Structure 1
Amino acid sequence: MTDSTATALAEFGSTWKPEELKSERTQQTALRRARGEVPGLQDLLNEAVTTVRTSLAVVIESFPRDATALVIAAGALGRVDPIHNGPTPDSLVHHVIDSEARPYRDPDPFHTDSPLLAHPHAYLGLLCVRPSPAGDGQTVLVSATDVAAEIADPSHLRALQDPCYPFAVPQKSADDEPSFTTHPILTLSGADATVRYCPVRVPAGVQRAGRAVDDEHVSALRAFERALEMQHLPTVFPLRAGDLLLLDNRRLLHGRTDVGPEGVGRHLMRVKVYDVKQ
């Protein structure tokens, strides 16, 4: 993104309050106006959307570090949605900040977001406000298609498509009965693959489900997890200040490398987006 486009988008965003962008209608109104009033934005967003839909991810450099601008731009992919986007209800933008209370964070393993929803969000936007000065906390991506290609046993691929894998639903209180929802891990259609996976929710769900998950499906899950560990598959890169990563949450798994003590203050803003048809 050029400096002039970034400046104009930030100025345009300042005319909107975040709470005014809760509805899809308002988001699309703001986006339509921004496309017409911000020089260069129309072509930039068209190219970004095309790239995400064909190559699964894109990084827009020099994006304004502004929450309203982030919501407006992400609206080019669909409806920006607050559900399952952090602990604050109805928040379109979630701030991911490494604080002094958590001065060291282990690597965040591969996962997809919103796995407990019947229809997970189609896209994610991650805007780097402030990277770690040490250069750690790098972004890691791997495609579901590449992971599936590493699973040699056809029976494992078939089993992973069965809608029987339990994803644990967090207990709201100690008195709640443990519960889970079931879904496939992979869905294959020709050369395309979609994925739903969380390394915390699935093992917890398997434990809660007990014998409801048979040995065949547990074996297939282990094969999937081994494929995720293949060192030649991931794409690893840093997000620099002003980098906006847009990615397909259905066809890519994402994670990050560890964040050391020097990473305190690392700050990302996250949005989640549904296709307009969802």
Structure 2
Amino acid sequence: MADSTGAALADFSSAWRTDELKSEHTQQAALRRARTEIPELRGLLDEAVAALHASLALVIEGFPLDTAALAIAAGALGRVDPSHNGPNPDTLVHDVVDSEARPYRDPDPFHTDSPLLAHPHAYLGLLCVRPSPAGDGHTVLVSAADIAAEIADRSHLRALQDPYPFALPRTPGNDEPSITAHPILTMSDGDVTVRYCPVRVAAGAELAGHTLDAEHADALGAFERALDTQHLPTTFLLRAGELLLLDNRRLLHGRTDVGPAGVGRHLKRVKVHHAHVQAPAC
């Protein structure tokens, strides 16, 4: 993004409060105005949407470090969802910060976001406000299609398209464990989509009465071994002002570890549904 475009977007977004932008109608109204008032932004967003559909992920450099600007620009992909985005409900933009309270974070294994929803978010946006001072905390991406191609046994691919148990988090006042069930891979007409969270799948498989049979346990093992294949992932460090947009249904993402010197690493995250998807239910 050119400096002038970034400055114009930051100036435009200063007139909007984040809580105003929780409405899809307001998001789209703000986006229409931004595209009209900043012609360079219109072309940039059109190119970004086309590139994302073609390559599943892209990075926009020089993006303003502004919450409202992120929400407005992400509206070009669909409905920016204020629900299911972090521990606090009704959060349009979630701040992911490595703080003094958590000075060391193990690697975040490959996963997709919102795997428990009936309709997982289609896209994620991650804006780097401050990278780790130590240069760790690299982003790691791998496509579902590449993982499927790595699994040689067709019976494993068939089994991965059956429903697997995902454990639901316990809610206050209800200590009874429960699950939802979804395929890990879905393959149709050459398109491969994925939903996966290793913690939720492992916990779901351990719940009484839902132990995986040998066929599905073997298939899950083949999937996890494919995720460990060294030549498939793309690894890179997001730098300040870089906005990563990714297809949450066709890519798995993760993060390398963040050491003690990484305190202060800060990303802003948005989650986006296709415009026609209504409020999902778990």
Tell me if TM exceeds 0.5: yes
| Residues 17-32 of structure 1 aligned to structure 2 (within 5 Å) | 17-32=17-32
State the SS of the aligned residue for 2:85: coil
1:7 equivalent in structure 2: 7
> Is contact 1:8-1:39 (8 Å) kept?
no
The answer as to 2:98 corresponding to 1:111 is: no
1:245 equivalent in structure 2: 244
In 2, the alpha carbon distance for the partners of 1:40 and 1:176 equals 53
* Two-structure CA RMSD over aligned residues (Å): 1.0
In 2, the alpha carbon distance for the partners of 1:145 and 1:209 equals 32
1:159 equivalent in structure 2: 159
Give unmatched runs, 5+ long, in structure 1: none
> Is contact 2:204-2:210 (8 Å) kept?
no
The Cα shift of 1:209 comes to 4.8
1:68 equivalent in structure 2: 68
Structure 2 length-normalised TM: 0.96
1:144 equivalent in structure 2: 144
Superposed CA offset, 1:176-195 (max 9, x none): 21000000000011322000
> Is contact 2:165-2:210 (8 Å) kept?
no
The amino acid that maps onto 2:268 is M
> Is contact 1:81-1:92 (8 Å) kept?
yes
Superposed CA offset, 1:113-167 (max 9, x none): 000000000000000000011110010000000000010100000000012x011
The Cα shift of 1:175 comes to 4.7
Structure 1 length-normalised TM: 0.98
1:189 equivalent in structure 2: 188
Distance 1:23 1:174, change over 3 A: closer
> Is contact 2:84-2:90 (8 Å) kept?
no
Q: Quick one: percent identity of the two aligned structures?
A: 74
1:96 equivalent in structure 2: 96
The amino acid that maps onto 2:70 is L
Deviates more, 1:60-69 or 1:171-180: 171-180
In 2, the alpha carbon distance for the partners of 1:263 and 1:178 equals 35
State the SS of the aligned residue for 2:45: helix
1:82 equivalent in structure 2: 82
2:231 equivalent in structure 1: 232
The Cα shift of 1:212 comes to 5.0
The amino acid that maps onto 1:185 is I
Give unmatched runs, 5+ long, in structure 2: 278-282
Count of equivalent residues: 277
